[in-house]
Amino acid sequence: MKRLFGFAVMLSCAAALSFGSASAAFAVTESAEAQIQEIADTDTTNTENIGAETAAAEEAEENREAEAAAAEEAAAAAEAAKSEAEAAAEETVQNNKEAGLPVMMGDTADEAEEALAREKEELRQEVVDYALSFVGGRYVWGGEDPHSGADCSGFVRYVLSNTAGVSMSRSSYEQAREGATVSPEEMQPGDLLFYGNGRRVNHVAMYIGDGQIVHASTAKTGIKISRWNYRTPVRIASFIG
């Protein structure tokens, strides 16, 4: 009886050991499967990220190509517009030549205005240069030709008439009523300055730039250069343009 009981106990222990080993083996299997699944999930995420980055790179490349194409198209359009403008300018020049009109280069209002301003500036300089060629000449009351002698109004009248084609009165008093009034800040070479006693004008001179005038001064000093404000001018006027 005691032997039977001991054998039974031994069988029970063996069965318990066998069940424990099986449970442990099952737990190890579950852990391995979980690790495998985690690795698989990580690979899937990495693959998705790589795919998104690739798509973004492709989109950026497409955008760059589109921008480059747009830039080339804009450059081509600008070049075409320039060619058309040049052709139009050449046609205008040719038409003006055929019609006997002055040739005005430039196809915009701004360019035409700049060209006109340059022409006026050159004319003013021509007027001044001609007036200065008489410095040292004689003052002759009532004279109208500085080659032989002229008074103040005859001098400026002769110079402006023979360079700029300006028609003006004979006396400084009458000349002071003509032309366009300008301020000392606005006066330019070729403009006239009128001087007087009070408001009565009795002398006229021509501004030559750099704060100076040229004028037929007196019988003693003749045609000479002075400072523009050696006397206070009654009026300053432009007769050119």
Q: Using the predicted structure, report yes or no on whether residue 153 has a pLDDT greater than 90.
A: yes
Which residues are designated catalytic?
152, 203, 215
Top CATH class of 109-238 equals alpha beta
Cα three-residue angle 51-56-59, rounded to 5 degrees: 125
Contact (Cβ atoms closer than 8 angstroms) between residue 204 and residue 158: no
Residue 159: pLDDT above 50? yes
Residue 157 has pLDDT above 60, yes or no: yes
Q: Give CA–CA dist 121/109, Å, rounded.
A: 18
- Phi, psi for 147 (deg, rounded to 5): -65, -35
216 vs 34, higher pLDDT: 216
Residue 226 banded pLDDT, cuts 50, 70, 90: very high
Q: For the residues 168-196, what does the mean pLDDT come to? A: 97
Separation between Cα atoms, residue 208 and residue 192, nearest integer Å: 9
CA angle 123, 128, 130 (to 5 degrees): 95
Distance CA 196, CA 202 (A): 5
Domain boundaries, the chain: 31-107, 109-238
pLDDT in tens, 91-110: 766 666 566 555 555 556 67
For the entire predicted model, the pTM comes to 0.56
**Exposed (0-12), middle (13-18) or buried (19+): which is 194, by Cβ within 10 Å?**
buried
pLDDT at residue 81 tops 50 = yes
3-class SS string, 97-151? HHHCCCCCCCCCHHHHHHHHHHHHHHHHHHHHHHHHCCCCCCECCCCEECCCEEC
Q: Identity (one letter) of the amino acid at 12?
A: S
Whether the predicted pLDDT of 14 surpasses 90: no
- pLDDT 10s digits, 117-151: 899 999 999 999 999 999 999 999 999 999 999 99
Q: What mean pLDDT do residues 152-179 have?
A: 97
Mean pLDDT, residues 184-212 taken together: 95
Residue 79 has what pLDDT? 76
Confidence at residue 12, expressed as pLDDT on a 0 to 100 scale: 47
Question: How does DSSP classify residue 239?
Answer: -
Whole-number mean pLDDT of the chain?
Answer: 80
